[in-house]
A and B are shown apart, each in its own frame.
Chain A
Amino acid sequence: GENVEQHPSTLSVQEGDSAVIKCTYSDSASNYFPWYKQELGKRPQLIIDIRSNVGEKKDQRIAVTLNKTAKHFSLHITETQPEDSAVYFCAASKGSARQLTFGSGTQLTVLP
């Protein structure tokens, strides 16, 4: 089955700096890559997703890039703010699958 690896497990940045979280996947048939944010004590919520027919997608301060050849995708957060502090999960799914396979999560801390 699909395997998703996520790095780093923890990341601390100064407010205003950028943060990058990276994931690799094993199944070349995967074509949907969402990112979820989970604030402390809350449920995971989708923040951005990308499908394999595009290489990059942006939404204000967040962006996701996808390299299908290398089978990796990354989340980029610019101008980080304290409210960006949370656990971030990447996930992957292929068109024939109903379920998502998640990475192990990254605890992002934005220091004021």
Chain B
Amino acid sequence: DVKVTQSSRYLVKRTGEKVFLECVQDMDHENMFWYRQDPGLGLRLIYFSYDVKMKEKGDIPEGYSVSREKKERFSLILESASTNQTSMYLCASSLGYGAEAFFGQGTRLTVV
């Protein structure tokens, strides 16, 4: 089974802090994604990556950056956390084009 693991299930951070969310997949997938899930808004794509050191903006990249130094690891960075970034963050991975995405268990981030 594909395993996508996010480093934290719950995080509480203060406004202005730099926040790192980590994601690791074990199936040698080329694609990795960060989505944000908010009630009534579904899953919105923040950033994705299709190769090491490559990244593409999604629909809501403002206030976020990403890093992919190794194929299996994809990090989401909030440079200066704000309260409107309080949300559930989901990492996913997939192989190729138009393919099934496998999700991590999610990180519930609260910014106070």
Binding site for B on A (CB under 8 A): 1, 6, 9, 31-32, 34, 42-46, 49, 51, 89, 93-105
- Between B41, B45, B101, the greatest number of chain A beta carbons within 10 A of the residue's beta carbon is seen for B101
Interface set, chain B 79-112, CB cutoff 8 A to A: 90, 94, 96-101, 103-106
Which chain B residue lies CB-closest to A33? B98
Given that A98-B50, A98-B96 are known contacts, is A43 also in contact with B105, CB under 8 Å in the complex? yes
Q: A45 touches which one: B59, B98, B103, B106 (CB < 8 A)?
A: B103
Using CB atoms, name the residue of chain A closest to B40.
A104
Q: How many residues of B contact A (CB 8 A)?
A: 26
B48 within 8 A of A: yes
Question: Could you say which of B43, B105, B106 has the most chain A C-beta atoms within 10 Å of its C-beta?
Answer: B43
**Closest Cβ–Cβ distance, residue B57 to chain A (whole Å):** 11
Q: How far is the CA of A40 from the CA of B4 in the complex (A)?
A: 18
A100 to B31, CA, bound (A): 11
Given A43-B90, A89-B43, A104-B41: A98 touches B48 (CB 8 Å cut-off)? yes
